[in-house]
Structures are given as structure tokens and as C-alpha cells.
Amino acid sequence: MKKFINKIDNILIESLSGFATAHSDLVSLHLDPNFLTRKNKAQNKVAVISGGGSGHEPLHAGYIGYGMLDAACPGHVFTSPTPDQMLMAAEAVHADKGILFIVKNYAGDVMNFEMAAEMLPFESATVLTSDDCAVINSTYTTGRRGVAGTVIVEKCVGSLAETGADLQTCKALGDKVNNRIASIGIALTSCTVPAAGRPTFDIGDTELEMGVGIHGEPGRRRENMREADELIRDCINAILADFKARDLDPANNSEALLLINGFGATPLMELYLIYNTAAKLFSQHGIQISRSLVGNYTTALDMAGASVTLCLLDNEIKRHWDSPVHTAALRRDR
């Protein structure tokens, strides 16, 4: 294993410290327990908090700022943050209108956020993201996994919270957005957790994992490499089948957002090639791609691979996706 590391036990604190220093205009780092907040606390709004294991950067700390998160709780690499992190973060950013947790559907995350919510001295609600259509149940989850679509949920809910909307209204939008998203990922290599010092799984030079999770957990099946167009066609077919199973017809929807997300070690050249193919294939099914996002937004350390995410837009979702945002990893002005 060759990585830029001093001591493995210190990698998270050193990385968080570097992030907070690089973006000192946007975030503040709090230690023992570890969490990050907006540099300038927002007032009189629902406070939106997310978190999860580290290794998925820029998720979640990269989305702290105006129009998205008020705080993020980073666990150790691929490990859920603890309830005390969530409690301290909530107390730091509570702005008199309640706390909304956005939680990816992994057993540890769900359990710890639930524990924190029960101990909070003020009102809270939770949006559980579950956009991965590759695997319904796994060792890590009961139900669908939360993956790259979480970024879209955080953006839309964060936008609504900035308007002063109440807690239940923000939760309702988060649930609606989540229910209109489907994602699937492909891994060409495994990832290496620093503490383990070796790849999470073995995969041959001519193989890929279809439907891989963002922690290196297995997907639908192991396959041989093929041309990109064939691989992405399988992804699109899986997404369309998933929407059909939920009685949603993307072709009857006026517009959609297409997110091509890199897992950390895939060049942008390849990600844009994937976007080109996916957009063409979706258009052949009568789906109008009117919004797009391409890049590393929900990674898996050093994994080579990518995921395809489709979000069905309506006027409300589109308005909040298009609204201004100012974070380290996502910025948009009017």
C-alpha cells in the first residue's frame, strides 16, 4: 500500500484539519468529538445535518455551507459516526426550528442517528436516502443503500431550509426527492482502507463489479470487461426497471437530472464519456436530461469506477436544485 500517510491512526484528524484550514471561510472544525459546522451559524432555520464514514469525500463535509448542510459528522473510514458527535453537532447549529438529519441507509448510520435523535432536547426528523437500485438487502443494510443520490437530497433540502420552511416541510421534500432517484455503480478496482492495508476485495484485470456499493461491498454480479456503451446500457436498463417497479415512468416526466459520479480514481475523461453515452441512451427512452452533474461527489477512497444517478424533476425539485449554493464542493450563484 502506497498512500500519503503519516500514521494511520492520525489520518482522519490530519485530513479534517487540512480541509478546515483550506476552507476556513466556510467551515469550523470541532474536535473530541469530531464534527464540522458552518463558519457563520445560520439563524431561524431548520438545521440540516448529515454524516457517515469518511472515505467518501467530498461527502459530507464538502457540502457544508449556504444552501446545503449546517453540519457534518465524519466517522472513521467507512465507519458510522457516533451519537455523541451528532448530539454535539446538533446543539452547535440548532437555530430554533428543529434538526433534520439526512442519513444514508446503512445499519450503523441509521442506528446511531436514531439514538442521537432520541436524546435531543429539541424536535428532529430524519430523511433516509435509499437510491441504490443494485442491491435490495445486503450485509450492511436492510433495504436499499444510500449512495450518490444523497447529494441531490442534501442540495434540495438545504435550499428549502434556507427559505425558513418548517421541519416537516423540509422532511417531506427530502423524502420526495429520494423517492424520485435511482442509482447504480460499477467498480473496475477495489478500494484500500488505510487501516487494512490491502484491497477490500480481489478483482481480475479483465473483470468488473456491477452494482458495487460505496464501501467496496459487492454488487449484483462479477462480469468481464466490455465496451463502455454496453456497460452503461446495462446501468440505464437497471435504473428504468427500478422506476417501473415503483410505478414511476421517467418518459412521462418532463425533465430529469443526470449525475455521473466518480468513485475516486476515474479520470474525468472517462466520466464525461459515460455521461455522453448515458444521456444518449436516456433520450432514446424519451427522457429529457435538463440538468447535469459530472465529477467526484460521493467517492470510495481510491476505487476506480463510477455510478449513474437519475433524478426525476418537477418544478419544486428543479427550483431547489437551481438555487444558489456556496460550499467547498458545490457552488452556484444566480
> Active-site residue among 56, 60, 76, 94?
56
User: pLDDT tens digit string along 246-290?
Assistant: 999 888 877 999 999 999 999 999 999 999 999 999 999 999 999
User: pLDDT tens digit string along 14-73?
Assistant: 999 999 999 999 999 999 999 999 999 999 999 999 999 999 999 999 999 999 999 999
- 56 catalytic? Reply is yes
Q: What's the fold here for domain 8-179?
A: Rossmann fold (3.40.50)
The count of other CB atoms within 10 Å of the CB of residue 206 is 8
pTM metric for this prediction? 0.97
Alpha-carbon gap, residue 209 to 200, rounded angstroms: 13
- 23 catalytic? Reply is no
What does the domain layout of the chain look like in residue ranges? Answer: 8-179, 181-332
Alpha-carbon gap, residue 26 to 59, rounded angstroms: 15
For residue 239, give the H/E element and its range.
helix 228-245
Alpha-carbon gap, residue 328 to 64, rounded angstroms: 7
In the chain, % of residues over pLDDT 70 = 98
The domain 181-332 is placed in CATH, from the list 1.10.8.590, 1.25.40.20, 3.30.1180.20, 3.40.50.2020, at 3.30.1180.20
Grid coordinates standing for 121?
432536547
> Active-site residue among 23, 76, 215, 320?
215
User: pLDDT tens digit string along 151-178?
Assistant: 999 999 999 999 999 999 999 999 999 9
- CA 244 from chain centre, in angstroms, equals 23
For residue 84, give the H/E element and its range.
helix 83-93
Alpha-carbon gap, residue 63 to 327, rounded angstroms: 5
